[in-house]
């Protein structure tokens, strides 16, 4: 079953290797920060990056099983877990709130380190979204596929907001869903809090949507000129 056109035969290896190299670079920044500046305050970035890899692994499972003929009904549990963990990927972008001149390392170093983690996390999320998007387009058509992307990015933005401002994480909804859903109910009953959440969600959805459009275009772009046959 063909879902998309491959640029080259070992495309998956190249993409995964590139993401792995980017992740190693992020870890190297954290190692320098800890060893050279004796600062351990950014270790949470490593955990956030690990969480950002989970939706990519789940998306690969969904993509491969769908190619082999699995029905979407059988893939729903994996898709639900993918959606649950997907906000962890762009969430790292919000870690810029931890930048401070009071930290031992120079501000520029911390800024570069967080940027490395943030861009790597976002790329991991976009690659996983791209794979699920390919499945949705193949199964339901292009319009439905893009509609699904918009809906997913909106839900991801909600997840990022809940993670940053309400301190939720993906494990919370697995370990203690009742308690957190009760918190969400009281949050929705507060008009001020709801308006703030809606504004942040809309802004983040637009930003992620624009970035994904660029990512999607670049994935299909050809830098080299197409040779004409004489």
**Share above pLDDT 90 across residues of the chain, in percent, rounded to a whole number:** 63
- The full DSSP string for 152-198 is HHHHHHHHHHHHHHS---HHHHHH-HHHHHHHHHHHHT-HHHHHHHH
pTM as predicted: 0.85
pLDDT in tens, 105-146: 999 999 999 999 999 999 999 999 999 999 999 999 999 999
Q: Return the SS3 of 227.
A: coil
Whether 83 is covered by a domain: the verdict is yes
CA–CA separation, 52 and 113 (whole Å): 16
What is the DSSP secondary structure assignment for residue 40, as one 8-state letter? -
Among positive and negative, which fits the CA dihedral 55, 57, 59, 65? negative
Predicted confidence at residue 226, as pLDDT, reads 46
70 lies in some domain: yes
Percentage, residues of the chain above pLDDT 70: 81
Q: What is the pLDDT of residue 11?
A: 83
Residue 66 domain flag: yes
> Which range in 6-20, 67-81, 178-192 is most confidently predicted, on average pLDDT?
67-81
Q: Is the pLDDT of residue 220 over 80?
A: no
Is residue 77 a part of any domain in this protein? yes
In a domain, 84, yes or no: yes
Within-domain flag for 128: yes
> Helix (H, G, I), strand (E, B), or coil: what is residue 123?
helix
Say which residues have a Cβ less than 8 Å from residue 150's Cβ, sequence separation at least 6.
205, 209
CA distance 203 to 207: 6
18-23 long-range CB contacts below 8 Å, 24 or more apart?
19/56, 19/120, 19/123, 19/124, 19/127, 22/116, 22/119, 22/120, 22/123, 23/49, 23/53, 23/120
In the structure encoding, which two tokens stand for residue 4, read together? 């998309």
How many Cβ atoms from other residues are within 10 Å of residue 72's Cβ?
Answer: 14
Domain count for the chain: 1
Cβ contacts of 91 within 8 Å, gap of 6 or more = 48, 52, 121, 159, 160, 163, 164
**How many whole angstroms separate alpha carbon 51 and alpha carbon 33?**
21
Task: Supply the range of the domain harboring residue 161.
Answer: 48-95+120-219
Give me the phi and psi of 166, to 5 degrees please: -105, -5
User: Which pLDDT does position 126 carry in this prediction?
Assistant: 96
- For residue 155, being part of any structural domain is answered with yes
Assigned domain for 5 exists: no
């Amino acid at each position: 079953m063909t879902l998309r056109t491959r640029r080259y035969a070992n495309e998956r290896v190249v993409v995964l290797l590139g993401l792995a190299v980017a992740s190693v670079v992020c870890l190297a920044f954290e190692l320098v920060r800890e060893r050279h500046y004796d600062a351990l305050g950014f270790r949470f970035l490593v955990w956030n990056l690990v969480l950002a890899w989970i939706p990519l692994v789940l998306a690969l499972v969904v993509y491969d099983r769908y190619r082999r003929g699995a029905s979407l009904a059988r893939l729903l549990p994996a898709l639900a877990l993918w959606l649950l963990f997907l906000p962890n990927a762009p969430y790292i972008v919000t870690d810029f709130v931890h930048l401070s001149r009071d930290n031992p390392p120079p501000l520029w170093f911390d800024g570069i380190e967080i940027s490395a983690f943030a861009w790597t996390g976002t790329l991991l999320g976009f690659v996983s979204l791209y794979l699920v998007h390919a499945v949705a387009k193949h199964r339901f058509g292009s319009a439905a596929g893009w509609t699904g992307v918009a809906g997913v990015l909106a839900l991801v933005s909600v997840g990022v907001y809940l993670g940053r401002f309400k301190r939720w994480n993906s494990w919370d909804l697995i370990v203690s869903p009742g308690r957190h859903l009760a918190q969400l109910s009281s949050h929705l009953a507060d008009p001020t809090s709801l308006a703030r959440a809606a504004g942040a969600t809309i802004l983040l959805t637009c930003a992620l949507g624009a970035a994904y459009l660029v990512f999607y275009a670049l994935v299909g772009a050809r830098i080299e000129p197409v040779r004409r046959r004489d």
